[in-house]
Amino acid sequence: MDWIEDQIEWIADGKKVAVGLTRFGTGKNLLLLPALSSISTRAEMRPLQERLGASFATTAIDWPGFGALPRPRIAWRPELYRTFLRFVTQSVVQPAATIAAGHGAGYALAVAAENPGGLGRLCLLSPTWRGPLPTMTGRRMALFRGLAKAVDLPLAGSFLYRLNVNSLVIGMMARGHVYADPAWLTPERMAEKRTVTDAPGARYASFRFVAGELDPFTDRDAFLESARRISTKILVVYGGGTPRKSRAEMTGLASLTNVRTVELPRGKLSFYEEFPNQTWETINPFLSESD
């Protein structure tokens, strides 16, 4: 089997946006959606995609405004991401199941609730709905929105963005919230992550995510209600080392009758990237079940 690297063109606010995607494998269609973060791209799904490709035709796709390709200046907002995901499932791949991580999982829930069956069976990895700053403070603040708009300024915005994505900050974030093994983010992997943050136009979506401006829901009730409205089966998987506040949102889904929840013994928010074998062993039976 060959890996197929491609890109599509999508229009947001009248501007053309190039979005990267990777196809691998044969069988029923699976859509893989990475998390939204300053260092996230579809590449974080590649170890898992390689394992799933033995049984499924997988398509991993970047979110517009993220990834390694140049990104235009756009006021990125939740409405655009919901529209993009609907476009993907209608025009790029019609999935039998969707595997989504982080805020990507939040958007998968939001769109699936509007269009039952449109994303197929849902497998949510470390599903989140609230950005880093609102999670830290426990609330949304006007200051965060102001900072998100300030990042658009030519000089000050670039400086503000760089404060958030230097190697020290990325390393602290990765060790505290993303990876269980502090040594996993080797110099080579750090260089790959920095390449993502250095892509032209990276700051416009990245800082909006940090500020909570790309949150797919405004509160926990809406997050849970979307999951409750979905008639297809949902599997939620998260790592045993998931940060406390994020973990509370994930375990909240476990109370729903249509949700099956699995806690892996190791891993933080990006457990699927760090421990792809354990992740594949957990989700493959779910994906292979008959309806």
- Residue that the structure tokens 């993220």 belong to: 66
Q: Which of 61-75, 91-105, 107-121, 191-205 has the lowest mean pLDDT?
A: 191-205
Residue 53 CA neighbour count, 13 Å, CB half: 18
What range does the domain containing 119 cover?
A: 4-288
Name the average pLDDT for the chain. Answer: 92
pLDDT tens digit sequence for 93-110? 999 999 999 999 999 999
Backbone angles phi, psi at 41, to 5 degrees: -145, 180
Please name the residues in contact with 252: beta carbons below 8 A apart, sequence gap of 6 or more.
220, 223, 224
Q: What is the pLDDT of residue 291?
A: 63
Q: What is the pLDDT of residue 190?
A: 85
Whole-number Å distance between alpha carbons of 251 and 90: 31
Q: What is the mean pLDDT of residues 70-85?
A: 95
The pLDDT score that the predictor gives to residue 171 is 81
- Beta-strand ranges (E) seen in 52-135 are 56-61, 97-101, 121-125
What proportion of the chain, given as a percentage, has pLDDT over 90? 68
In Å, how far are 27, 68, 177, 209, 275 from 240, measured between CA atoms? 32, 30, 12, 24, 12
Higher pLDDT, 155 or 89: 89
Mean pLDDT lowest among 42-46, 119-123, 169-173, 253-257:
169-173
Please count the structural domains in the chain: 1
H or E element in which residue 16 lies:
strand 15-24
Q: How far is CA 129 from CA 55, 224, 227, 289, 290, in A?
A: 30, 10, 12, 28, 29
pLDDT digit string (tens) for 119-132?
A: 999 999 999 999 98
Query: For residues 99 and 116, what is the distance between their CA atoms, to the nearest angstrom?
Result: 16
Domain containing residue 84: CATH number: 3.40.50.1820
pLDDT of res. 137:
81
Structure confidence at residue 147 (pLDDT): 75
C-beta of residue 28 within 8 angstroms of C-beta of residue 56 = yes
Q: Averaged over 14-37, what is the pLDDT? A: 97
pLDDT at 139 exceeding the cut of 80:
no
Tell whether the model's pLDDT for residue 157 goes beyond 80: no
Q: Is 186 exposed, middle or buried (0-12, 13-18, 19+ CB in 10 A)?
A: exposed
How far, in Å, CA of 123 to CA of 199, rounded?
A: 29
Which pLDDT does position 173 carry in this prediction? 81
